[in-house]
Chain A
Amino acid sequence: MTTTNAWSDVWSQLVPKFGQILFSIALFAAVLVIAFWLASRARGKAERPVVVTLMLGPAIVLVAIGLVVPGLQTILFSVRDPYGQGFVGLQNFGWAFTDPGMRQTLTNTVLWIVLAPILSTGIGLLLAVLVDRIKREALAKALIFMPMAISFVGASVVWKFVYQYAGPGNPQIGLLSSIVMAFGVKNPPNWMLTQPLNTFLLMVIYIWVQTGFAMVVLSAAIKAVPMDINEAASLDGATGFRLFRTITMPMVRGTFVVVLTTAMVATLKLFDIVRTMTGGNFGTSVLANEMYSQTFVQFNSGHGAALAVILFIGVTPMIWYNVRSLRKERTIR
């Protein structure tokens, strides 16, 4: 693409590109329509298997290829040497739990999973309740949701301007330092170096991004609480917090748990924030970041896979908890 008339090249490709999008979507829709039409001729005993295969099949095939096979492969690699060749038993796991750097990483990961999702979902819920009562709801929601629209590359620059450090006597370009100085602190710390504060400061970034998601979903759930229930309750004298505790919370509890679980799984897999802000240095590394750098930077697929397996195991209790409460719901229905 090193032609000098790149502009005209691009224009001439725009139409075919949009054409390709439309064609692909149309093709996808056409395949579905034809398949549905053919399948709906199945009657009687054949009907249910055909329906299940057709409606569930594509998703299962894709998930099997994209997630199940790589997942199994990862488990295999976790008991092999750095090149995925010889069998080394549980050596990689031994490394993960004894290496001093790794221990710090695991501690951080636990901190992350416990704090970041609870805070972001909690603040999201608080906001959802609050925006429900104000006039300029749409604007407020949009502002809080905006960080979700910023890519991580952009977010890392945003927060560079907040956490940047400069010694005394030098011009401040970090917002946090200059705010602290306005309150009389003469020599603000180098934020990204101060352990364990730095891990919490990184969590702030996550909360900043994630709260919008929690708020939007929970706000929808709150609005789903039928008007008459709210009204009846407030006629009974329930207001403010009591209304929230007795009516709103039980009604949105299910949604809250779902958002919380999603956030927890996402937190465990999180690596962009840590990678772009500190590169995992200064005692801020987390499991997923370490997994990525072991696998792709240091070419030790054994270590990387072992960390991934620890990650699987870490998420399992949350999944299990959700499965249990879902199962209860499903049996009720």
Chain B
Amino acid sequence: MSTHADTTTTMHSVRTRHDNPVRDFLSSKAASIAVFIIATLWTIPTFGLFVSSFRTKDAVTSTGWWTALSNPAWTFDNYKQVILGGTDNLQVPLVNYVVNSLAITVPATIIPITLAAMAAYAIAWVPFRGSDAVFFTIFGLQVVPLQMSLIPLLSLFSQGWSIGKVTIIPTFDNGLTLFGHQVLPAFKIAGNYAAIWLPHTMFALPLAIFLIHNFIAALPRELMEASKVDGANHFLTFTRVVLPLSVPALASFAIFQFLWVWNDLLVGMTFAGGSDAIMPLTYRLAQLSGSLGSHWELLTASAFVAMLIPLIVFFSLQRFFVRGLLAGSVKS
């Protein structure tokens, strides 16, 4: 009875602030239940994978994972094989590929976002003729499927581009020599991390410019004008005013770009040139599943190993999703 009384008093005290508290109270309760149900539904498949990753191949193929408690066949073997490689030490340890993936993903996130923020600022706040056309063209380029770019880019990196005998873009294999002076040192893009950063950057730019432009363009005009009055040029305004205010938008996009690059297989596979020294984790894990997929049970464990770093990134940047919008609300 006392709990009932407590609830009543709470409701009374709420009533003084809102005029329809019961519905508010119920709807937040209903919301909790609904979210709980959906979140559970969303997690069940992953949970099944998680349970399966600790079961033997035989158990996984003969009994459902939800019966794992009544059909115990637990093992750490899947993880052991994924992390330590094969039984002999011919295999390169997994940590090598984790580092490779980081070395690919971090620059392939920072570079396109920086370039996109610059481009977005120019389009939004530097008036010039054709800025609309440039913006819409870049936005429209999202339609080009990246598969179509693989061969042209690969041949650009390995041979440069030329029409007939006229070289349009040279390779830098021997450096760049202009008028008899070595301008750039010898640098082979093919087989280097740069060969993976560049395609990722190119494919990310249209969406990045579009999303970041939407945010930057919505910044209050008074801010820009105030900055100009203070004597700042465009570069100062961009670095001192626009960038700090855009951190939430940039961080949000960074999370997505990080995940897309981290989970990418096609670009990494095509441009790594088969070198263990730069090959990303996803490619390595796909290889672990064996010829003709004979060891697909290892994919269960490897999926979790590969998930760790993206989840850390998500949790550490998550707060920006919320914080950013306070900045956005300045305009209204």
Contacts and interface: CB of A to CB of B under 8 A. Distances in A.
Contacts of B100: 17
B203 A175 contact: no
A54 B210 CA distance: 19
A219 B61 CA distance: 40
Interface of B: 18-20, 23-24, 27-28, 31-32, 34-36, 38-39, 42-46, 48-49, 52, 60-66, 89-93, 95-96, 99-100, 102-103, 106-107, 110-111, 114-116, 118-119, 121-123, 126-128, 132, 134-136, 138-149, 152-153, 156, 169, 193-194, 197-199, 201-203, 205-207, 209-211, 214, 217, 221, 233-236, 238-239, 248, 252, 256, 259, 262-263, 265, 276-277, 282, 285-286, 289, 296, 299-300, 302-304, 306-307, 310-311, 314-315, 318, 321-322, 324-326, 328-329, 332
Chain A interface residue number, banded:
35 or more
Interface stretch (A65-73, A88-96, A102-110, A277-285): A65-73
Contacts of B135: 326
Interface stretch (A111-119, A127-135, A187-195): A127-135
Contact of B44 (A66, A175, A211, A330): A175
Given A151-B263, A308-B145, A24 B310 contact: no
Interface string A1-35: 11011110110011001101100110010001000
The list of the 10 closest CB pairs from A to B, nearest first, reads: A66-B202, A154-B303, A224-B325, A59-B119, A55-B122, A149-B310, A315-B143, A70-B149, A151-B263, A55-B118
A45 interface: no
A144 interface: yes
A143 B39 CA distance: 6
Interface in A261-278: 262, 265, 268-269
Contacts of A291: 145, 147
B122 to A, nearest CB: 4
A43 B310 CA distance: 45
A148 interface: yes
A73 B203 CA distance: 17
Contacts of B60: 173
B256 to A, nearest CB: 7
A144 B205 CA distance: 27
Given A142-B314, A149-B259, A295-B147, A330 B66 contact: no
A157 B321 CA distance: 30
A11 B328 CA distance: 45
Contacts of B44: 175
Nearest to A305: B148
Contact of A28 (B107, B211, B248, B326): B107
Contacts of A67: 141, 144, 149, 202-203, 206
16 contacts: A1-B92, A7-B89, A24-B107, A25-B106, A59-B116, A60-B134, A63-B202, A70-B149, A71-B148, A130-B31, A140-B35, A152-B265, A175-B64, A211-B42, A216-B321, A323-B139
Contact of B92 (A6, A71, A138, A292): A6
B321 A220 contact: yes
Q: Is the interface of A mostly helix, strand, loop or mixed?
A: helix
A51 interface: yes
B308 to A, nearest CB: 9
Given A25-B106, A153-B285, A258 B139 contact: no
A24 B109 CA distance: 13
A133 B143 contact: no
B7 to A, nearest CB: 17
A52 B119 CA distance: 8
B141 A234 contact: no
A66 to B, nearest CB: 3
A58 interface: yes
Given A14-B99, A63-B205, 6 more contacts: A4-B89, A56-B119, A144-B38, A171-B64, A235-B19, A295-B147
Contacts of B296: 157
A154 B35 contact: no
A213 interface: yes
B99 A150 contact: no
